[in-house]
Amino acid sequence: MRQANVEKNGFLLRAIVCEKCGNKIVHPSDIEEYNRFLEIKGKTFKVKMRLVGNSYAVSIPKEIVGFIKEQEKIMNDMVSMCFNEAKKISLLFGEEEQELEE
Ligand SMILES: [Zn+2]
**53 Cα: distance to centroid of ligand 1 (angstroms):** 59
Torsion of CA 100, 5, 31, 72, to 10 degrees: -60
**30 Cα: distance to centroid of ligand 1 (angstroms):** 21
Band of the pLDDT at 96, cuts 50, 70, 90? low
**5 Cα: distance to centroid of ligand 1 (angstroms):** 17
Q: Read off the pTM.
A: 0.62
**17 Cα: distance to centroid of ligand 1 (angstroms):** 8
Mean predicted lDDT score pLDDT of the chain: 85
**24 Cα: distance to centroid of ligand 1 (angstroms):** 8
- For the stretch 5-34, pLDDT in tens is 988 887 889 999 999 998 999 999 999 988
Question: How many independent structural domains does the chain possess?
Answer: 1
pLDDT at 11: 81
At 58, give phi and psi (nearest 5°): -125, 155
**18 Cα: distance to centroid of ligand 1 (angstroms):** 5
pLDDT at 65: 85
Of 99 and 91, the structure prediction assigns the larger pLDDT to: 91
Question: Do residues 1 and 14 touch, judged by C-beta distance below 8 A?
Answer: no
Q: Domain limits at 25?
A: 2-98
- For the stretch 33-82, pLDDT in tens is 889 888 888 899 999 999 999 999 999 998 888 877 777 665 667 888 99
